[in-house]
Amino acid sequence: MTRCILTLSLLLVPACGVEEIEAILAKYDTFGEVSTTGDTGDTGSDAGGDTSTGTGTDTTGGPGSTSADSSGTSGATEAADATTDATTTDAGSSTTGPPAPSCGDGLIDPGESCDDMNDDPDDGCKLCTRDRLVFSSSVEYLGWELDGLYGADQRCRMLAAIAMLPNFATYRAWLSDSNTAAADRILHSRGRYTLVNGLVVAADWDALISGALDNPINVTEYSEVSEGSRVWTGTLANGQPAFGSSFCGDWSEKDAFELGGSGIRNWTDANWSFFEHGGCPSASSIYCFEN
């Protein structure tokens, strides 16, 4: 059986098993080659099995996965504790507590991942939410080689780690199966989704699922234009499952007659996510999103 091989030149054999991928990720975490933590103020969880929430909150994952950012919480925050804003009067003078945290105050408050005190999104910070990276995997996989949603996520994380992308442990595949929608697994960010080369894919979550991207997701984790065109997704452009196939046996069942949904990475209309159901014995890339 072909084994997963990580050489000094950081080349990968695609047939890595999940356990081998976890061992590689553990080594990167131990050596500290890439930071695995989110920005100060980011919140969320990534523990337990894949759990669909329907809210866009970043709560899906699998054994061994690490914390990721919660979605929809970046931006201005409410006053955290009104009881601290005490007011006293002494001979006509008054004293108030510190002002409530807010987006634009230059401090990274809870619920914010950046705060640069300006409205220019081109500096990587929009509405106190930093850009999130997106790439098309440089490795192609047969539909049943992904080992389910968790296995696909671990493959994204391994590729991100080897490419030395920040926050590699938070990446997830833009992938649905018969039980879980990609929209319930990917961060619903108020900030931008960008390619590794800096080009903007979408201004925010609503733009991402609108059916029209600013730029195609055709750049790999190494900032190289992808070869080939098809990408396994099982997902419509709105983030919901593309029913009509078996999702390649939920991306883990080896059967030459199984079908899975795929998109075309060189396109920016709704076909970027779903174009047709294709045979699972064919090899395609996957989209990987930083969370």
Question: Residues 174-212: pLDDT tens digits?
Answer: 999 999 999 999 999 999 999 999 999 999 999 999 999
Q: Give the β-pairing of 283-289 and 172-173.
A: antiparallel
Give the pLDDT score at 98: 63
Give the pLDDT score at 4: 64
Give the pLDDT score at 256: 87
Give the pLDDT score at 117: 66
Within-domain flag for 84: no
Give the whole-angstrom CA distance, residue 127 versus residue 62. 30
Within-domain flag for 58: yes
Give the whole-angstrom CA distance, residue 20 versus residue 24. 6
CATH number reported for the structural domain that contains residue 135 in this entry: 3.10.100.10
- 238: its two tokens: 């709105």
**Residues of the chain predicted below pLDDT 50:** 1-2, 6-11, 32-95
Compute how many other C-beta atoms are within 10 angstroms of the C-beta atom of residue 142.
19
Give the pLDDT score at 50: 39
**Whole-prediction pTM value?**
0.74
Residue 2 DSSP one-character state = P
Give the pLDDT score at 150: 97
Q: Which backbone phi and psi does 230 adopt, to 5 degrees?
A: -85, 145
Give the whole-angstrom CA distance, residue 171 versus residue 69. 10
Within-domain flag for 169: yes
* Structural domains of the chain, count: 1
- Cβ distance 252 to 148 under 8 Å? yes
- 179: its two tokens: 């039980």
Give the whole-angstrom CA distance, residue 263 versus residue 218. 11
Q: Which backbone phi and psi does 23 adopt, to 5 degrees?
A: -65, -40
Residues 181-208 as b/e (b if ≥16 CB within 10 A, e otherwise) read bbbbbbbbbbbbbbbbeeebbbbbbebb
Sequence-separated (6 or more) residues with CB below 8 Å from residue 72 = 55, 56, 57, 188, 190, 205
Give the pLDDT score at 124: 74
Q: At 131, which amino acid appears?
A: D
Give the pLDDT score at 2: 42
**How many residues are present in the chain?**
291
Within-domain flag for 112: no
Q: Which domain holds residue 30?
A: 18-71+118-289
Of 262, 152, 135, the closest CA to residue 193 belongs to 135
Within-domain flag for 109: no
